[in-house]
Structure 1
Amino acid sequence: MFPSYDLFIHPMYLVELRKDVWSDEPVPAKLTYQKRKYDIDVVYRGSHIRKFEKKSYHVMFHKPKFFQGAHEIHLNSEFKDPSLMRNKLSLDFFHDLGVLSPNSKHVLVTINGRFQGVYLQLESVDQDFLRNRNLPNGSISYAVDDDANFSLISELDEDIKTTLSAGYELKYGDEYSEEHLCDLVYNINTISRAEYEKEIVKYIDVEKYLRWLTAIVCTSNFDGFVHNYALYRNDETGLYEIIPWDYDATWGRDVHGRLLEHDYIRIQGYNTLSARLLDVPSFRKRYGEIMKETLAHQFTVSYMKPKIEALHALLRPHVLRDPYVSDIAVFDGEPQVMYEFIEKRSSFLQQHLKEIL
Structure 2
Amino acid sequence: MELPKEIPTYHIVINNKHYKNLRSDIWRDDPVPAKLKVNSKEYYIGIQYRGYHIRKQKKKSFHLTFRSPQLFMGRREHHLNAEYMDPSMIRSKLSFDFFKEIGNLAPNAEYILLKLNGSTAGLYLQLESVDDLFLHQRNLPSGHIFYATNDDANFSLITPYKKVKTSLEAGYRVKVGNQEDYHFIRELIYNINTVPRSDFKHEISRLIDVNKYILWLIGIVCTQNYDGFIQNYALYRNGQSGLFEIIPWDYDATWGRDIHGRVMEYDYVPIQGYNTLTSRLLDVDEFRLQYRTMLENILETKFTPSYLESHILSLQSMIRPYILLDPYINKDIQKFDSEADYIIHFIHNRRRYLLDRLVELK
Which bin holds the TM-score, normalised by the shorter protein?
over 0.9
Which of 337, 343, 349 does residue 354 from structure 2 map onto? 349
Residue-by-residue CA offset, 1:129-158 (whole Å, 9 max, x unaligned): 1111111111111111110000011224x2
In the other structure, the counterpart of 1:230 is 234
Q: Give the alignment of 1:149-298 within 5 angstroms.
A: 149-156=154-161, 158-298=162-302
| Identical columns (%) | 51
The answer to whether 1:86 aligns with 2:94 is: no
Which of 298, 303, 320 does residue 299 from structure 1 map onto? 303
In the other structure, the counterpart of 1:312 is 316
Residue-by-residue CA offset, 1:46-83 (whole Å, 9 max, x unaligned): 01111110010000001000000000000000000011
Secondary structure (helix, strand or coil) at the match of 2:235 reads strand
Residue-by-residue CA offset, 1:247-306 (whole Å, 9 max, x unaligned): 001111111001110100000000000000000000000000111011101110111101
**TM norm structure 1:** 0.98
Structure 1 consecutive aligned stretches of length 4 or more whose deviation exceeds 2 Å:
none
Unpaired segments ≥5 residues, structure 2: 1-5
Distance in 2, matches of 1:30 and 1:97, equals 38
Shift of 1:321: 1.2
Which of 25, 29, 35 does residue 24 from structure 1 map onto? 29
Secondary structure (helix, strand or coil) at the match of 1:194 reads helix
Secondary structure (helix, strand or coil) at the match of 2:245 reads strand
Distance in 2, matches of 1:112 and 1:90, equals 32
> Which shifted more, 168-177 or 65-74?
168-177
Shift of 1:159: 2.2
Shift of 1:243: 0.4
Counterpart residue type for residue 350 of structure 2: R
Counterpart residue type for residue 219 of structure 1: T
Residue-by-residue CA offset, 1:165-191 (whole Å, 9 max, x unaligned): 000011111354100110010011111
Give the aligned length: 356
Secondary structure (helix, strand or coil) at the match of 2:197 reads coil
In the other structure, the counterpart of 2:3 is none
Distance in 2, matches of 1:355 and 1:152, equals 27
In the other structure, the counterpart of 1:5 is 10
Residue-by-residue CA offset, 1:191-228 (whole Å, 9 max, x unaligned): 11001111110000000001100110110000000011
Counterpart residue type for residue 273 of structure 1: L
Distance in 1, matches of 2:317 and 2:40, equals 27
Secondary structure (helix, strand or coil) at the match of 1:43 reads strand
Secondary structure (helix, strand or coil) at the match of 1:249 reads coil
Counterpart residue type for residue 332 of structure 1: D
Secondary structure (helix, strand or coil) at the match of 2:198 reads coil
Which of 110, 115, 124 does residue 129 from structure 2 map onto? 124
Residue-by-residue CA offset, 1:69-123 (whole Å, 9 max, x unaligned): 0000000000000111000000111111111100001110000000111100000
The answer to whether 1:74 aligns with 2:79 is: yes
The answer to whether 1:51 aligns with 2:81 is: no
Please tell me the root mean square deviation across aligned C-alpha atoms, in Å. Answer: 0.8
Shift of 1:160: 1.9
Distance in 2, matches of 1:306 and 1:11, equals 44
Distance in 2, matches of 1:201 and 1:142, equals 21
Secondary structure (helix, strand or coil) at the match of 2:318 reads helix
Which of 145, 153, 156 does residue 148 from structure 1 map onto? 153
**TM norm structure 2:** 0.97
In the other structure, the counterpart of 2:110 is 105
Secondary structure (helix, strand or coil) at the match of 1:40 reads strand
